[in-house]
Structure 1
């Protein structure tokens, strides 16, 4: 915790330098740069609270206590919703950077960090109830810190590797903003699209891994590799029931979803079109992204953090190379959509390499035949469902003149079609994992 606290203080102090990695401080945007630095100093303390939440969450998971880690984010959301309610009710929306007041900045920045602090601190009573006690220790010999520091070193390098790729992509997306400032094709659109795209992964895959990782780690410690392999295979197959159709949903209905969510206020329908296309470009990448995330947990069950670092190097290198090609070869209108596709493709490469290495670690057995059979059936069902959903959405959209209502009708009708057709075909193809999902523990 002391290292986490010191790192957080260092990050807050270095807020201008960190901001300059993503945004240049030029005379034309000096005020925007300074505002970003102020927000960074409000938000960077979240590093400590994210770390605290993760540490306490892992302590509870190791004791097979999963409930608190699942519901404490609700407290975060309650505080955030309340804060945004106050913001919208008491203040006007600024038209430019110069119109943003210090009160607005403080409310948004401090309120967001406060919400996360409450989420993290709420785990302390549950950790104590599970038998965990906070006791400062200075006799560090024999505590296993040497092994922990070695693991943390590779994890830190893993994070830094991903950060390098993220910084490059951010720079390229910001360049599109500069070229077409009102085109809706830059960094903000890319961030919104990626956030929506990652939601299925956050809900299903992360929840599964949180519950299964302690069990897989115990299986490895007791040399029960078959049990560990079965748990990992089951997690991949069950998560695929949600992840695969969600990926095709984004491809089929990404534009409608973007219109319904974002085409309000100052954002018109035309400026939201690129965001919907970014959702489509991200789309199918959700499948390798989620599967690679799951497979990495297989290495963590072996207490191996070195291999995930090298996986991050492979993925980040591919992402940077493909993103650079998009930045140099594509016009600004399409460059950031290309960045989304590059991200998806890089994880497809990463999944292949990760699967090969983990298969070797598991003595040549990864339950590959059953996984390929299940994902083949899921892909066939989702492809048919997505295609029909796309046709239904287009047909419904043509019956309404209002762009907003056309998108809403198309999303509702197309989404319902995707769901019903996928479930029907999954049952016909006897995908047994479909029945396992509602009873997930």
Structure 2
């Protein structure tokens, strides 16, 4: 626990700064281009390279590469260095080709992700996509470099590098504020405006990749292009990766359904302001903040160790590692989920209720965030469970689980799209995602328990979660009281939202820490001890 906590703390610090600067970035962009037509077009264009990267190679990098690098480090005479160089060569060449094809096929990709876009909206989204898609070529370099660093237990650079990306895009948003006279008006936006937004976004990824390349160079890795692909174990990677690609493909089908229904909701609403794909995307980013700060850090520290345990047949160590990870994640995720369900609109109004984004638009986004709060615990546990399978090199089981998730998410989403009024459809899409992860997490837990041959400590985990919820409920009540009192006295403005968050979130969080410490929840006590030790120095 202490080793995982120390490694996770290092990563969590970088992730926290990355996520916070990411929200500044998002807030600046939302203020500059809004969350209506231009904001939707930007978000559609921005997601396309991520979809292509994940669908074609990114899923393999995240789930297959780390175990294979660990294996090469153990068995290859050179400690796996030549193998790492081959991987870097293959990924770079493949992603350059994908980027070129993506730019050429941008209109088709935009059409696939949207429903009932006007010709002007489609034109703007396509132009932005062509400027942003080249960043795919840099994703692979950064991903391989990050994997190499993780297998050497160097976690800081991959967590801190995105900060520079965010800083660059913040600068782009501020510059757009200064030089553009069109703001969020998609009908009047100029070619130079779109050039600034698109290429500026790509520049952020380029700088992020450069930082990772420098970091991996400092740990002794030297990149030499290698084209002896017979020794790249592509066949082994392909056998494992085909299921990972299926997993990613199922998830992207789910996302495509979501984007089409979200843009369809906007078209249904006409001139009425409703939450659309930009609101969904920004709310999802906020929803992932607690997960990104603690769960991603724990996952990144867990996977290399669990891969080694699986390779050595130490299944008991895997069970212990997983149970410790779940409890450590849950002690932060549980109160955050409850507080998001109460304070979602206060968060979004404070961050987004400025410039081209109205308070009404920000409240709509906050309502979506409240629903996402329900998903935080099942989503995080589901992601931890997947790493149990990946540590064994098993990518087939997660693919089948993902297929079930897609079926649940798509079915519930479409039913809600047909039955809900336009102003509630995107909230319904968040609820459908929650239902999918509840079902998927239940199935994944059952199958992962069989995988390790002795269960995953379900009773202990359930007992810990129950105690954490008991400790978090008073915090949610305090937050709800602060929300009600502030709203009655001052209405809903960015200033009143800040008061709600300070009073409700601050007091609620402090009450949770005190209550859980008094209840002797070990993970909270460990975190408090770690922080106190750092401060004491």
Q: TM-score, normalised by structure 1?
A: 0.94
Q: 2:136 aligns with which of 39, 47, 54?
A: 47
For the residues of structure 1 that align with 2:426 and 2:262, how far apart are their CA atoms? 6
Unaligned runs of 5+ residues in structure 2 are 1-90
For the residues of structure 2 that align with 1:257 and 1:362, how far apart are their CA atoms? 41
Call closer, same or farther: CA 1:156–1:436 in 2, change over 3 Å: same
- Cα deviation code 1:29-52 (max 9, x no counterpart): 212111111111111222222222
SS in 2 for 1:418: helix
Residue 416 of structure 1 is matched in structure 2 by: 506
SS in 1 for 2:223: coil
Residue 179 of structure 1 is matched in structure 2 by: 268
Structure with greater helix share of residues: 2
Q: 2:250 aligns with which of 158, 161, 173?
A: 161
- 1:246 and 2:339 equivalent? no
CA contact (8 A) 2:475 2:511 kept: yes
- Cα deviation code 1:392-416 (max 9, x no counterpart): 2211332225644333322221111
Equivalent residue runs for 1:328-339 within 5 Å? 328-339=418-429
Equivalent residue runs for 1:204-283 within 5 Å? 204-283=294-373
- 1:79 and 2:154 equivalent? no
For the residues of structure 1 that align with 2:288 and 2:312, how far apart are their CA atoms? 34
The two structures, once aligned, show a CA RMSD in angstroms of 1.9
Call closer, same or farther: CA 1:164–1:427 in 2, change over 3 Å: same
- Cα deviation code 1:59-87 (max 9, x no counterpart): 11111111211221122122222222322
Q: What is the CA-CA distance between 1:142 and the residue it aligns to?
A: 4.2
- 1:384 and 2:474 equivalent? yes
For the residues of structure 1 that align with 2:305 and 2:492, how far apart are their CA atoms? 53
- 1:342 and 2:432 equivalent? yes
Aligned length: 439
Residue 140 of structure 1 is matched in structure 2 by: 229
Residue 63 of structure 1 is matched in structure 2 by: 152
SS in 2 for 1:94: coil
- 1:7 and 2:98 equivalent? yes
Unaligned runs of 5+ residues in structure 1 are none
Equivalent residue runs for 1:270-419 within 5 Å? 270-400=360-490, 403-419=493-509
Query: Which is worse superposed, 265-274 or 290-299?
Result: 265-274
For the residues of structure 2 that align with 1:361 and 1:153, how far apart are their CA atoms? 20
CA contact (8 A) 1:53 1:123 kept: yes
For the residues of structure 2 that align with 1:402 and 1:317, how far apart are their CA atoms? 38
For the residues of structure 2 that align with 1:69 and 1:142, how far apart are their CA atoms? 27
CA contact (8 A) 1:200 1:243 kept: yes
SS in 2 for 1:398: helix
For the residues of structure 2 that align with 1:72 and 1:267, how far apart are their CA atoms? 29
Q: What is the CA-CA distance between 1:301 and the residue it aligns to?
A: 0.6
For the residues of structure 1 that align with 2:362 and 2:293, how far apart are their CA atoms? 25
CA contact (8 A) 2:327 2:464 kept: yes
Higher relative contact order (CA 8 A, sep 6+): 2
Query: Which is worse superposed, 135-144 or 123-132?
Result: 135-144
